[in-house]
Amino acid sequence: MDFSSLHTPVLLERSIELLAPAIDHEGAIVVDGTLGMGGHTGALLERFPGLTVIGIDRDPQALAIAGERLKEFGDRLQPVHAVYDEIGDVVRERAPQGVDGILLDLGVSSLQLDLTERGFAYSRDAPLDMRMDSTRALTAATIVNEWSEADLRRIFSEFGEERLAPRYAKRIVQARDSAPILRSAQLVDIIQAATPAALSRVGHPAKRVFQALRIAVNGELDALSAALPVAVDSLRVGGRIVVLSYQSLEDRLVKRELQRRASSTAPQGLPVELPEHSPELRLLVKGAGRASDEEITENPRATPVRLRAAERLRPAPATSATRRGTTSGSAP
């Protein structure tokens, strides 16, 4: 299979434009925290001959494909099997002086969506898997068949923002009492049967449930919450971070962290802002960047993307708790 045909990098030119001022020099280092099949990383390595990319991904299959696709760049690509909330540990080991750029292209990858057997897509029948890292134990089938009705209702509501969460959770528990729910088509049938006719015409009724299950299986929001402060702390002064989000829950976390670090911490009424209270970041994009109509036409998966970016202005205080790093935890 020609795996390059499975992946069209989203907002590639805009991401490169934002990172370029920080990485266009010999010895520059970028962390691609979501390497995938290497679309963004390949373009960066080609355009910046002095650049090294540390490519992190939790998916062993993606790492293997990216390594093969980008083998021409030799050791300028350093693939690492990890979750992006381990950025702090990875940077301390491979770039102890910090890095010049960080790219996070969040969400499910084209590889995971397009390979039916991975079980991410509600439009094709497959085992209920949804693991980004196939070495982990928790699958969507485990959640659907073993978690309580209350827990199913919670994740559908919190991670999928699904209004019909109570109805869907109840129907799933009723159905699994008769037979295990092991395939995506079974789950889709249950959800469709539980959806009022008027709502079934407004998008696919399984979309939010599948999103919620994927987030729960992979602990995505916990990983992102832990990764963002550590990623910022891994940047050298003048370094830049670019984050691409594809759903509102991710984008809220990114917006909150970047705005927090781009704000003064001086107590109200202080006549002079001390250096340690000055903003650590400068926001590079007003609001959230969006894909152009032309890009969306060429790559419909770019439709929901929100881009946020910032530049590091000063080091964090040495006592910052985020400097201790973090390790990936289990899914909720």
| Helical ranges in the chain per DSSP H | 12-23, 39-47, 60-69, 87-94, 110-114, 140-146, 149-158, 165-176, 184-194, 197-200, 207-218, 220-233, 248-261, 293-298
Determine the Cα–Cα distance for residues 119 and 273; give it in Å rounded to an integer.
Answer: 53
Annotated binding residue at 174?
A: no
**String of DSSP letters for 99-151:** EEEEEEE-S--HHHHHSGGG---TTS--BS---SSTTSS--HHHHHHHS-HHH
Cα distances from 61 to residues 38, 166, 329, in angstroms, run 12, 36, 21
Annotated binding residue at 105?
A: yes
Annotated binding residue at 112?
A: yes
Annotated binding residue at 168?
A: no
Annotated binding residue at 247?
A: no
Determine the Cα–Cα distance for residues 9 and 324; give it in Å rounded to an integer.
Answer: 32
Annotated binding residue at 107?
A: no
* Residue numbering of the annotated binding site: 38-40, 57, 84, 105, 112
* Residue numbering of the annotated binding site for S-adenosyl-L-methionine: 38-40, 57, 84, 105, 112
